[in-house]
Amino acid sequence: MIQVGAFPGINDWRKRTTRAPVNPLDKSTIVSIYPKEVDEKKATIQPGRFIVKAGTPSNPSLLVVGPSSWWKEIDEDQPLLEIPVSSIQIADSVVKDYCNGILACNMSDAMPGLFYVPGEHDIHSIRKSYQHELTNAEGRQKNWYMILVKLADSLWARSNGNPLAISDDMRMAAREMNLQNKDWMKDFQMIDMVRCFACGALKNPTYPVCATCHAVDMSHPNAKNISFAQSFGGTK
């Protein structure tokens, strides 16, 4: 019987999420050659936070995960039913949930260098038994980097050199591919976009030509070096 003013379920042992003994052999290893830390949080399972440190092809990082659990309510008179989730399902979820939705990641041949293997492993064991997977992960990551760099080149041109168009992942890809000579890899300060006097579109004030309508701002100090034909894509 519930007393007036009581909060049902707070002290009810049937509603407690107590885990059963965990199988010590149920373990999987997440391997990362991705140069950013992965911090995946899953609120519906316990344990539900998984942090994979940044890694490189020469020094991969590892995270050994075990099984987790979630609980299902049957009815008010029965305890919560524990639903175990195997370590291989947890590892698969951590990798896929992080990579899904990342720009230019297609989850096949172009994606961050993350993968998982069954069992508990150290670096020596991974290199000995899973070198092929390491090589494939490096190839997929390079493909992803190349796509990001191409997208950055396109966005840089279309935005009239706006540094805000370039994402951190694009800059990371250029660094990893040794492409620091890209114009968009320079240390830019935040700029205030201005309206083009001809069409009203936002443009970078450090450039004399509007990327939208190609009108030339004659008050710009470099405008005198641009001919009328050049500014409108014509020929001399």
124's enclosing H/E stretch is: helix 123-129
One domain for residues 41 and 132: yes
One domain for residues 136 and 211: no
**Is residue 180 in a domain?**
no
Residue 128, domain extent: 13-141
Record the tokens describing residue 104, joined without a space: 């230019």
The whole-number average pLDDT for the span 138-151 is 98
Record the tokens describing residue 181, joined without a space: 């000579």
Confidence (pLDDT) at 236: 40
> What is the band of 188 on the pLDDT scale with cuts at 50, 70, 90?
low
**Is residue 21 in a domain?**
yes
Between the ranges 75-84, 106-115, 181-190, 207-216, where is the mean pLDDT highest?
A: 106-115
The whole-number average pLDDT for the span 152-161 is 91
Domain count, the chain: 2
> What is the band of 228 on the pLDDT scale with cuts at 50, 70, 90?
low
The answer to whether 62 touches 134, Cβ cutoff 8 Å, is no
> What is the band of 227 on the pLDDT scale with cuts at 50, 70, 90?
low
On average, the pLDDT of the chain sits at 88
Q: Is 8 exposed, middle or buried (0-12, 13-18, 19+ CB in 10 A)?
A: exposed
Kindly tell me if the per-residue pLDDT of 192 is higher than 80: no
**Is residue 159 in a domain?**
no
Kindly tell me if the per-residue pLDDT of 190 is higher than 70: no
Record the tokens describing residue 7, joined without a space: 């909060």
More confident residue, 234 or 133: 133
The whole-number average pLDDT for the span 35-62 is 96
Among 141, 164, 183, residue at a domain's last position: 141
One domain for residues 203 and 120: no
**Among all chains, which residue has been given the structure tokens 């993968």?**
115
Provide φ and ψ at 199, rounded to 5°. -115, -15
Q: How far apart are CA 130 and CA 123, in angstroms?
A: 10
Share of the chain above pLDDT 90, in %: 62
Confidence (pLDDT) at 144: 98
Which of 35, 59, 61 is closest to 176 using CA atoms? 35
**Is residue 203 in a domain?**
yes
One domain for residues 91 and 199: no
